[in-house]
Structure 1
């Protein structure tokens, strides 16, 4: 801490000194102790800003990955086309639709049952009698004795049809149209109405019967009560516009390659943004000063984790247990495992072994497969994988001798799966010298056309093994700003604790300085007052001296 020199001037001058300036100088000297705290606080706040930015970009990357791993996302989207849109037009293909080509012949369209009354000359003519619709009788009275009021009565009731008044040059009629198309919507109408103005009967005749659409789909006869057909091709809705028994319409359902390519390109863009964030922190700013996170271990952790996620190789062959086995259940017996069509090797499982013990026994046998445990709630799945592709790496399992002794049930395994896409480079993604990615959309499009399901298996999480998409998602969950384990979250929490202590130190020091400032102001004000009083006190002494001695110092001689 520096020193403060006080200049009181001439002690007999009576001018005193500037109290405020002197106190501020002393306080400024005292506040120097806060400088390293404030400097550290500024550094931490810069780190927080950088970490928050990286966390935001990681969140965008996670969202991009989710669009590729979501079972109802872009990989499930379908497109459709019709070879003759004048007869059949596709309206939608849901995520449950399956890519393929179908042949449709539209034999007849669905029709809606309808009736129309005879014509009356004047729309205001009154009616009498009754009208029976679908077994329900409407008795005519003053509230419904015109076509208009009768239509209102019908439309406000539960008759299963809609009434409409039609007026043209020939007169006025009442139209009745079923609210349900097809054969199931057929309506019946019995009229006992009379036009009281002309004393003539008002009869109804059927204008169109209700009939289902008739079509064949891949040679199978299909009936539809509506011309909007939803039950003919799984997940596909199409509209019948016209019938032609002699024309076969080709309906093609395809995977939506364009949206998949767009989603993967977004993933690449967001990945590059995160990597550029990290690369920036390894250098200096425009003024030559190190970036806020230069040398920070969190940056190294993020880089290593993303690199690990990117280079993850998905197993080429896999098979997993399909029965429900509790994580803590005891197992015993034996399991036979073969690789590549070779003879199966027997692995003995001691009594009271856990699923983890079974995995360890398989791995110790060194038979060419890797065993791992995947937990789901309270259940455990035994996953066996092999990096060798094709039939030479195929896994066969006979677990008929392996028993879950906790339940008494045998442990069963599902069908083996072969994954033909095992690395992200097969999707047309390449790594540049700076670690950023480039996507070759032509290569991706070619793969989607030749092996769409392989891409789906590679990107979407599986309960039987760890997929690229599932692994990448898990890693991102442990890197971002999400509590309680995200790397960015933990780094921000650590900084926050230090910042809280620094702010407390600064606040406490300011409290002390404020009290000392008040005390200094009081003391120096008093000292200043004393200095300004000295000349007056000297004058009084001189007067006393003169009175005693008769000597006046103010006179010469």
Structure 2
């Protein structure tokens, strides 16, 4: 702590000294003890700003990868097209839709049953009686309600809940009640019996003309299979696809419906992932430099920054430890030969009779404690024996000498033909950022979409591993690297703020005490000339000498 030099001036001048200024100098000197605490607080607050910014960048990247790894995310989206939208218009294709081309012929459209009653001259004519519609008796409303007219009868039909909608159609010939089934197709017929409706105004009985349009199902063929739909909005006849029938095809004519994966949506998401990844890496790299004044950035030399960089670099270069065996025409085909996984060889001849196939081999691998999980899946081109390492790391080491008859079964060490980002056309730059070759990405999506899907979504895949790393690093995870760093800073800041507050209380007490004491001293100094003058006068009176040189 420094010292404060106090100047009281001439003690006999009576001028005293400035108490406020003197106290301020002393307090300022006392506050110097807080300087290192406040400097540390400022440094921690700067770190908090950077950590918060990195948390946002991690969150952006997490959203990108989640869209790719989510089974219902962007990779499940489908898009479709119709070769003739005037006849068949696609309205939706969900994740269950199978990629492919479907040939459709529309023979007839679905129709809805409709009928009407005899026209009356005025919609205000009084009606009486009742009619039976699909087994339910509908009475003309009582005259006391004022609804005993054609509009009241229509309202009575609509409120009965019998699957029929009644409307009043008025033209130059009069007003008539029109009945329309709420269900299209053959299941929506209208049966009107026991009709006794009478126009009291004219005395005429109103007859019902049965179904000017009968309910009929739409008739169409999909890939040569004859099908029917009760509605012109068709769902399920092509799995996962909904389309609208608007017309019929000519004899022998067909419409091509193409269902494809939504590559453009995937490409857009991967592009955004690359952009957000580079933003995060660039933000980290910026912390390893100094600012324009030569001061180190807040996280310069921070172990937190080093750990985040190591995790990010390790995960971006991670290779998916998966692979698959393909070539069998059926999962139940009897196989010959052997497969070697690591240092273990499994001979098909060693398996029980009836188990010498892909399913039996998968069971043998799973029960062999080889550190590998095996599953038989069908990707549309035939069964595959998918192998997934139970330990994250480099690709599986496996060799296939299997055969299905005369066909050799090959082992691909990469999931779907890739086990690293390079398979997507993504390369690493010297500064840690990455670059995307959009042409390569488009090519692999067109040639091996299932491989890209597995790269992101298979167990222990690159996508799942990278997603886990982001979760373990981000601020949204309470035990994530960023969250723990922010919590540690917060704890230190709380302690420092408490120390500053405590010191301020002590300084405030000293300031109050100093002010009181120095005010008292100042009063004494200001009274000294008068006291000295009194002493001089007393001395002169006693001694007879005049001690005042100016007297």
Taking structure 2 as the reference length, what is the TM-score of the superposition?
0.84
SS at match of 2:427: strand
1:446 is the counterpart of 2:443: yes
In the other structure, the counterpart of 1:70 is 70
Give the alignment partner of residue 201 of structure 1, picking from 197, 205, 213: 205
8 A contact 1:389–1:419 mirrored in 2:
no
Q: Partner residue of 2:362? A: none
CA distance in 1, matches of 2:522, 2:495: 39
Offset of 1:337 from its aligned partner? 6.7
Corresponding residue number in structure 1 for 2:249: 244
1:539 aligns with 2:533: yes
Equivalent of 2:196 in 192, 195, 205? 192
1:4 alignment partner in structure 2: 4
* SS state at 1:229 partner: strand
Aligned positions of 1:397-412 closer than 5 A: none
Query: Are positions 1:153 and 2:156 aligned together?
Result: yes
Give the Å deviation of 1:54.
0.7
User: SS of the residue aligned with 1:183?
Assistant: coil
> CA–CA distance in 1 between the matches of 2:320 and 2:549?
113
2:181 corresponds to: 178
Preserved contact between residue 320 and residue 414 of structure 2 (Cα < 8 Å)? no
CA distance in 2, matches of 1:14, 1:556: 17
| 1:403-454 alpha-carbon deviations (Å, 9 max, x no partner) | xxxxxxxxxxxxx995322111110111112111111111111111110000
Q: Is contact 1:109–1:212 with CA below 8 Å preserved after alignment?
A: yes
Number of the residue aligned with 2:395: 387
Partners of 1:123 and 1:147 within 8 A in 2: yes
Matching residue of 1:317: 323
Q: Secondary structure at the match of 1:266?
A: helix
Report whether the alignment pairs 1:460 with 2:457.
Answer: yes
TM-score normalized with structure 1 length: 0.83
| Structure 1 segment 295-444 matched on structure 2, within 5 A | 295-317=301-323, 338-339=340-341, 343-344=346-347, 371=372, 383=390, 387=395, 392=400, 419-444=416-441
Structure 1 CA distance for aligned equivalents of residues 271 and 475 of structure 2: 24
Give the number of equivalent residue pairs: 496
Q: Which runs of 5+ in 1 are unaligned?
A: 320-335, 347-357, 364-369, 374-380, 397-415
Question: Bigger CA drift: 242-251 or 257-266?
Answer: 242-251
**1:211 counterpart residue number:** 216
Q: Give the whole-Å Cα distance in 2 for the aligned partners of 1:536 and 1:58.
A: 77
Contact map agreement 2:94 2:240 (CA 8 A) in 1: yes
Give the 3 Å change call, closer, same or farther, for CA 556–447 of structure 1 in structure 2. Answer: closer
TM superposition shift of 1:300: 1.3
Matched, 1:491 2:485: yes
**Structure 1 residues 128 and 468 mapped into 2: Cα distance closer, same or farther (>3 Å)?**
same
**Separation (CA, whole Å) in 2 of partners of 1:382 and 1:440:** 29
Aligned CA distance change for structure 1 residues 293 and 221 (closer, same or farther; 3 Å):
same
8 Å Cα contact 1:115/1:208 also seen in 2:
yes
Alpha-carbon separation, structure 2, partners of 1:496 and 1:424: 38
Q: Taking structure 1 as reference, are residues 522 and 418 closer, same or farther at Cα in structure 2, changes over 3 Å only?
A: closer
| Structure 2 counterpart SS, 1:124 | coil
After superposition, give the CA deviation of every residue in 1:143-197 in whole Å (9 maximum; x if it has no partner).
Answer: 4421111111112221211111111111111101111111111111132212222
**Structure 2: how far apart are the matches of 1:15 and 1:536?**
12
- Following superposition, the deviation at residue 99 of structure 1 comes to 0.6
**Unmatched 5+ residue regions in structure 2?**
326-337, 351-364, 375-387, 405-412
- The offset of 1:388, in angstroms, is 6.0
After TM superposition, give the deviation of residue 483 of structure 1 in Å.
3.4
**Cα distance, 1:78 vs. partner?**
0.4
Contact 2:102 / 2:258 at 8 angstroms: preserved in 1? Answer: yes
Question: CA contact under 8 A between 1:339 and 1:393: conserved in structure 2?
Answer: no
Partner residue, 2:334: none
Deviates more, 1:245-254 or 1:230-239: 245-254
Give 2:467's match in structure 1, choosing from 473, 478, 503. 473
Structure 1 counterpart SS, 2:244: strand
Note the aligned Cα RMSD (angstroms): 2.9
Any conservation in 2 of the 1:315–1:419 contact (CA below 8 Å)? no
